[in-house]
Amino acid sequence: MAYIDYYKILGVDKNATQDDIKKAYRKQARKHHPDLNPGDKEAEKKFKELNEANEVLSNPENRSKYDKYGENWKHSEEYEKAQQQQRQYQQQSTNRGYSGADFGEGEDFSDFFQDMFGGSGGGFGRSSRGRASGKFKGQDIKAELNLNLRDAATTHPQTFEINGKKVRITIPAGVYDGQQIKLKGHGNPGANEGPSGDLYITFNIPADPDFERIGDDLKTKVVLDLYTAVLGGEVKVNTLEGSVNLKVKPETQTGITVRLKGKGFPVYKKEGEYGDLFVTYEVKLPTNLTEKQKELFEQLKNS
């Protein structure tokens, strides 16, 4: 596996604070968000890399493992358990009058990961280094789950099948396109009765015909007839929760945008918090005018 520098992806150094990491992620995520770069595969790839980097570095425990073990940080527990098993095995051998090689403090742990997950192909067993067999975590599985915008805006259960087993999860409202979650223990079975791997699910949320999502905010367009635009009135606006009547000021121009506070997208894992809905007006000129109507427009023109 090629080394992935999560610090470089976020544009911070290894001494960055958690606040620095949070700010860097938000800045980069806004720049490369798929909603702001429709059809841009590079931006989509970068956005997924940012999410992966943030998932690791924003968690102090995961960050500590990553700093120590690099790309093998997910397998740190296996290494440390095997270390402990080897010490116990060596102690038992010493008590019985035998000696054994120790791969612990004096050996580069990268060799251990290479033997476990590299080209060796199988379980740990007893290698040429005299290591004792142990229990090892199974391989992780990656899957994708498609949601429409309205599904992503509601907390709801979802059932799907992985490796012949049905998995039921509750998807929190506010998930975003490209976001990844982890289901511990739903991956492939472990070796030597070890724990199963994890299941990583990435959400795919295609563009919606009515709303454009920008972070937690939504944008939509509403057509006004000429008379409402000139004289003012009311217009019906669709939101994710149903339609509302919006007052229109007299002499409203095409392109004017108004904000409906709290009518946007729900904020992920923050119950009761919502973004805003931005409504942009488009004034539609009348067609098929009668002679009387044309005459009235002539009067307005010459007044």
Domains of the chain: 137-207 (2.60.260.20), 212-302 (2.60.260.20)
Residue spans of the chain under pLDDT 50: 1-2, 93, 97-132
According to the model, what pLDDT value does residue 124 have?
Answer: 36
Q: Do residues 148 and 206 touch, judged by C-beta distance below 8 A?
A: yes
According to the model, what pLDDT value does residue 223 have?
Answer: 96
- DSSP letter for 14, please: T
Residue identified by tokens 């060796």 is 120
According to the model, what pLDDT value does residue 120 have?
Answer: 37
Q: Within a 10 A sphere around the Cβ of 265, how many other Cβ atoms?
A: 23
- What does the block give as tokens for 159? 């059932």
- DSSP letter for 196, please: P
Encode pLDDT of 29-78 as tens digits: 888 888 788 888 888 888 888 988 898 898 888 888 888 877 677 777 76
Q: Is the dihedral of CA 67, 68, 71, 76 positive or negative?
A: negative
pTM above 0.85, yes or no: no
According to the model, what pLDDT value does residue 88 have?
Answer: 59
CA distance 7 to 13: 6
According to the model, what pLDDT value does residue 99 have?
Answer: 40
- DSSP letter for 59, please: S
* Phi/psi at 267 (5° precision): -80, 130
CA distance 241 to 246: 15
CA distance 58 to 294: 65
CA distances from 160 to 157, 164, 201, 269 (A): 10, 10, 11, 22
